[in-house]
Amino acid sequence: MTESATGTTPTQGSETREFSAEVGRLLDLVVHSLYSEREIFLRELVANAADATDRRRFEALTDGARALPEDAKIRINPEKDARLLTISDDGAGMSKEELVSNLGTIAKSGTRAFGQKLEDAKPEDRPNLIGQFGVGFYAAFMVADKVDVVSRRAGSDDAWRWTSDGKGSYTLEPATREKAGTDITLHIKEDADEFLDSWRLEAIIRKWSDHIAWPVTIIKDGKEEAANEGTALWRKPRSEITEDQLNEFYRHLTHNFDTPWDTLHWRAEGTIEFSALLFIPGSRPFEFAEQTRESRLRLHVRRMFITDEADILPTWLRFVQGVVDTEDLPLNVSREMLQATPVLARIRKAVTGKVMGELKTRAKDEEAYAAFWENFGPVLKEGMWDDPAHRTEVAALSRFRSSAVDGLTSLDAYISRMKPEQDAIYYLTGDNAETLAASPQIEGFKARGVEVLLLSDAVDSFWPERLGTYEGKALRNVAQGQTDLEKFGAPAESDAEKADMDTLVPALKTALGDTVSDIRATDRLVNSAMVLTAPEGGPDLQLQKLMQRSGQSLPSVTPVLELNPAHPIVHHLAALVKAGKPVDALAHILLDVASIQNGEAPKDVNAFSRRLMDYLAGGVETDSTAEPAKD
């Protein structure tokens, strides 16, 4: 029978399932677009086997029925006469449902994105996209016209066979396997004879997978021979490791295919001993923002993988990838025990301190550091919100866009440019720096030569309140409450005639009612007529927007409407009031335009549109009784 991969299936017997159209298209891309470096398939299958063995080792910590055999390894068996190549492991294995989930779909991180990247990439870059998008298994179809997978889940007696020719469907049927683990058998294509040669296979393993901790063997003339050195790279002295080995280990570990921006390799000795090999990626990983916030550094004990959930680094350093290996923990330590052990607490402190020290050193090269900041700055800034112990350190490492300089600047550099009478670091939050640079909120500051930091990441609406001050200077949001621009004198435009605000403000308050909490003249504006601000002590408008987008709510805060007394529009409104003419509709237009300036749609788009059309037609001044349009 044939059915979709998501449909209900019988529990016994053979069944055939169709790949989705998108998956079929991607299989075609993998097979044909990656043709130039087909050896990559073996790297991916061996890496998957190693991961499965690691997983079983971890599961066995809490379930003895899943214990690894003492001679656990990855075996590669080429059979020239039968044109078969089998990669076997003693890992966790897969149940029927896991076979469907793991092999019946491609690229959980986004099939459409993978396909686009593959089509756009240069031919020499295409093999590097496989692991990055989670499609490594399917590289097998570059050299095989059919693939059989027989797998038995550790702790289960049932085994299942998955078979496909990569042309639109796959079959599932019960199978037998003496022990838990997985056999992947490739029916090698006529033009791929080289991958049935044991010497060629060994050369590929040495090139791509020599660092795999599990033994990899190749069957030659009926005998198993070691194919990898199997050394833990992180335990070697740095002088014995080549740059190529480091880069390949980084790529295997992270599934990224760039080169790391920085590599940290050291051995700690003293009260605790551990080896560490850490990487800061050179580019932002695919869908990094959607990943969990926990650090995923791998914890090993005496070279054996234990867990990647030990939270060795704080969440705001989760972009750091790598391995920490210690002798000071028992091999059978559980995750619950890990969280309580003082040994791990000391390792965490030491590793965090090492990473922070490295960032401080690298930050001295502003150009190189800017590349890192563009990739991971928004994550690092979370430390100013999350971590009181490192808040000031993270602040010193942070970089920002500014109204006064091109590129990025630090808080220390900002302070060095402050005016003598300035006692605060001014900032404005929003959705992007370009929009903030043109915001009415900072016109008065720019006119007086006062620098404003332009903060456009989501976390920027939160951390300034927690940080509070930096080097004795308060952080102050220019869109919140009254400005203190009077201490900086008046800009050149200040000699312009001012409208009669004493007459205008009461009329506007009557017209707008409780849609605003206050209306007042301001010195923050130069070229704009009006701006919306948050009341003193209330959450700024950007924070309110962020909370609404995330489905959360803050106590309702009504904005303040501030007016530029020198602007022609404000003069026009004041003249209308003085002449006894209605300004209700114009007042609402003014408020709606201020909302648009702030990145928000008018509360009643239909009413705004009608009022604006009436004004353009010349009818607003005499239309004081019209009701707002209904949705």
> Which is it for strands 469-470 and 424-429: parallel, antiparallel or unpaired?
unpaired
User: What are residue 279's phi and psi, to 5 degrees?
Assistant: -130, 140
Say how far apart CA 107 and CA 93 lie, in whole Å.
20
Say how far apart CA 176 and CA 16 lie, in whole Å.
19
Q: What is the 3-state secondary structure (H, E, C) of 242-254?
A: CHHHHHHHHHHHH
- Taking CA atoms, 332 is separated from 62, 228, 295, 548, 570, in Å, by 9, 27, 22, 46, 75
- Tokens matching residue 235: 């335990």
User: What are residue 261's phi and psi, to 5 degrees?
Assistant: -70, -35
Q: How do the residues of the chain divide into helix, strand and coil, expressed in percent and rounded to 5? A: 40, 20, 40
Bridge partners (DSSP) of residue 280 are 262
DSSP letter at 389 equals T
Binding positions for ATP: 44, 48, 89, 94, 102, 108-110, 132-137, 182, 335
Query: What is the Cβ-side half-sphere exposure of residue 61, based on CA atoms within 13 angstroms?
Result: 19
- Taking CA atoms, 594 is separated from 538, 588, 591, in Å, by 19, 10, 5
Alpha helices in 176-291 (DSSP H): 198-208, 243-254
Binding positions: 44, 48, 89, 94, 102, 108-110, 132-137, 182, 335
User: What are residue 355's phi and psi, to 5 degrees?
Assistant: -65, -45
Q: Phi-psi category of 260—alpha, beta or left, where left has phi over 0 and alpha has psi -120 to 50? A: beta
> Which is it for strands 159-164 and 144-152: parallel, antiparallel or unpaired?
antiparallel
Say how far apart CA 3 and CA 22 lie, in whole Å.
16
Q: Which amino acid, one-letter code, is at 550?
A: S
Q: Which residue's entry shows tokens 């201490």?
A: 487
